């Protein structure tokens, strides 16, 4: 039987698999060409835009693995496949600090220039360590720290600049360390909870927040117990904390919708100092979170049935996911994501398609008809990103998949302006 689960086009679609591509070549995790990243990675963040030498606010990005013009073409190619490419700002070794209005405005202009030069879809905020600190006594709703106030204002202006140039919303994601986000339940000051006023101020504009559930030791859950990284309970407890919200000494943090929260994990043991989990542990925890499996440990979800609209997963990094000397097999994290989220109904965030379509499946003979109000190019590809059938510039066409094996496939339609992707399940 042919069954179609239809996705509608949008700013981003969740669940989504997000990964970082290292903008450098290392012997242990070599550079990966952007166009070689498997299509299952629906959102890719280039790591990183960092401050120019001698500053901690004037950011720059220089393509290291390929020539600048080549990377620009690669970004466009990936975007034409319906995927999104962001520039990640900061990283563990590049502190950024917006101490005054001049530094704020320089940060705004430098990030805007990078986005427009390379054609990125938006930014991923990855300020780590002491780049973001919150003073004790301040509140989430009314931050008083200059660096935080300036960062919030800068991101808002970068988004305004993006819409003025591109006529659409800029994608905004964040990758807080554990102390910066869920750690706020244990204390509010310095690193602890430092992202909370930023997330709160930008919650309506945020597309995805993927806390780094690694390199952090232990954290408290909503049930008052302590949970330790590299366990299924840790994934479940920290994720529900971010969705449901929690009290802090800086006030109450209202959680984010489930489709704006993704689970961030290292791709393999060498990708992080600590916190790696094997695929079976990750899969069991994620299925419990999604309401698709049993409880995995001592933590019990406060919301019965879990969070089936969860935003997806993030990994550091795509480069590490590809390395077979680190994983048991190439792209093991990606394959685990596909298994976890198979048969999950996607949701759409923001904006509307530039064309409409109808699909008429015929389960008896494996043929379905697509009718569109514009000419579209159509591709069907498998879980490995291999294109199995391709048809160009059609408004009505019949596609025969009777020769396909049982399983999940993807159908992509592109009218040259927007791209819509459908999940096809053949049973």
Q: Any idea which residues carry the catalytic annotation?
A: 128
Spatial separation of the C-alpha atoms in residues 246 and 252, rounded to whole Å: 6
Spatial separation of the C-alpha atoms in residues 268 and 257, rounded to whole Å: 28
Spatial separation of the C-alpha atoms in residues 225 and 245, rounded to whole Å: 16
Burial label, 54 (beta-carbon count in 10 A; 0-12, 13-18, 19+): exposed
Angle at which helices 68-80 and 101-118 pack, to 10 degrees? 70
Strands (E), 136-220: 171-174, 208-212, 218-220
Q: Is the dihedral of CA 277, 27, 39, 48 positive or negative?
A: positive
Beta partners for residue 142, in sequence order? none
User: Residue 277 CB: number of other CB atoms within 10 A?
Assistant: 21
Spatial separation of the C-alpha atoms in residues 276 and 177, rounded to whole Å: 15
């Amino acid at each position: 039987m042919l069954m179609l689960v239809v996705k509608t086009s949008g700013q981003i679609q969740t669940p989504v698999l997000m990964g970082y591509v290292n903008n450098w070549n290392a012997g242990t995790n070599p550079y990966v060409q952007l166009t070689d990243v498997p299509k299952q990675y629906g959102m890719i963040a280039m790591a990183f835009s960092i401050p120019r030498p001698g500053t901690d606010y004037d950011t720059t990005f220089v393509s290291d693995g390929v020539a600048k013009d080549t990377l620009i073409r690669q970004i466009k190619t990936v975007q034409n496949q319906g995927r999104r490419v962001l520039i990640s700002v900061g990283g563990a070794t590049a502190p950024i600090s917006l101490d005054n209005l001049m530094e704020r405005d320089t940060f705004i202009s430098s990030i805007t220039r990078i986005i427009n030069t390379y054609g990125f879809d938006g930014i991923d905020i990855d300020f780590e360590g002491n780049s973001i600190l919150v003073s004790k006594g301040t509140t989430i709703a009314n931050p008083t720290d200059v660096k935080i106030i300036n960062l919030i204002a800068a991101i808002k202006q970068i988004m305004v600049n993006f819409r003025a140039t591109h006529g659409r919303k800029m994608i905004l994601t964040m990758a807080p360390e554990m102390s910066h986000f869920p750690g706020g339940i244990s204390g509010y000051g310095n690193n602890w909870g430092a992202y909370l006023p930023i997330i709160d101020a930008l919650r309506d504009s945020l597309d995805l927040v993927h806390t780094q559930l690694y390199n952090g030791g232990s954290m408290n859950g909503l049930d008052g117990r302590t949970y330790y990284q590299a366990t299924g309970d840790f994934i479940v407890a920290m994720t529900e904390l971010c969705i449901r919200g929690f009290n802090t000494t800086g006030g109450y943090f209202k959680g984010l919708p489930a489709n704006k929260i993704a689970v961030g994990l290292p791709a393999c043991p060498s990708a992080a100092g600590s916190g790696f989990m094997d695929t079976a542990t990750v899969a069991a925890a994620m299925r419990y979170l999604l309401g698709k499996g049993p409880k995995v440990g001592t933590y019990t979800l406060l919301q019965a049935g879990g969070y089936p609209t969860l935003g997806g997963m993030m990994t550091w990094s795509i480069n590490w996911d590809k390395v077979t000397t680190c994983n048991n097999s190439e792209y093991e994290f990606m394959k685990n994501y596909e298994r976890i989220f198979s048969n999950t109904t996607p949701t759409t965030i923001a904006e509307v398609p530039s064309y409409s379509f109808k699909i008429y499946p015929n389960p008896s003979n494996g043929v379905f008809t697509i009718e569109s109000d514009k000419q579209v190019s159509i591709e069907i590809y498998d879980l490995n990103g291999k294109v199995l059938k391709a048809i160009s510039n059609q408004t009505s066409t019949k596609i025969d998949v009777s020769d396909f094996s049982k399983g999940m496939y993807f159908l992509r339609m592109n009218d040259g302006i927007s791209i819509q992707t459908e999940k096809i399940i053949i049973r």
